[in-house]
Structure 1
């Protein structure tokens, strides 16, 4: 799939974003918005597939839902922080889980920021840049 960044010759501001959300519709909508802003986006819908894709995709940014089937976003984040390809990536929790305990668990798991759904694209883009 061509992204806006690719079509424009690779925008300097574009990031490689791995978007992980079990809601296919939500992931599609957000990926389309991020691509329209010049980012290259890969979507996955569960933790094991996200982990399997990071070595070849090498994301700069990971937007990760916490409530995933089978393997929680907390577990995925901890595993990503162990790997060289994602050790220093910007790791954003984008989730419906918004309690203070959820926020602390996200930080403890290695997330850089915790965002509660719904989030504005402007707020998300500010962190990505």
Structure 2
């Protein structure tokens, strides 16, 4: 069962830079979300196995595997599919295509604008709430 706060989302933040992870987690908490942080791909996969989040924010440059591999493994392993967003310094068209091919719903380039990120999460939260109310199990982020 997902540990979702009453008005927020459960968010798994996969980021190896401690300062970035901490500041992003603080922003998410201030916005009413419940963030968990994983500093590498293996830790992220363990977190998802324990509890599938509503949203996964994944850096592509991780120490043990790239974020695309993490995304593919989450898609293959998770029953309920989270919305997955790359938040990365990699911003070429090839990187965006690789993200889509790996099953990522969106690709944001760092530094991600905090207002844009929180606005995006608010739209995802509304979409999940609307789908829960209508009984639909299909969850995908608007592009």
TM range (shorter): 0.7 to 0.9
The TM-score, its normalising length taken from structure 2, stands at: 0.79
The number of residues matched between the two structures is 119
The ranges of structure 1 where at least 4 consecutive aligned residues each deviate by more than 6 angstroms after the TM superposition are: none
Structure 2: runs of 5+ lacking an equivalent: 123-143
1:26-78 Cα offsets, whole Å, 9 max, x none, are 00000000000000000010000000111223200000000111210010000
Distance in 2 separating the partners of 1:88 and 1:57: 11
- Point out where structure 1 has 5 or more consecutive residues left out of the alignment: 1-5
Whether the aligned pair in 1 keeps the contact of 2:52 and 2:78 (CA below 8 Å) is no
| Alignment partner, residue 93 of structure 2 | 100
Q: Deviations over 1:75-109 (max 9, x none)?
A: 00000001234x52110000000011001000100
Residue of structure 1 equivalent to 2:38 = 44
Secondary structure (helix, strand or coil) at the match of 1:101 reads helix
Q: What TM-score do you get using the length of structure 1 for normalisation? A: 0.87
Could you say what the CA RMSD is over the residues aligned between the two structures, in angstroms? 1.4
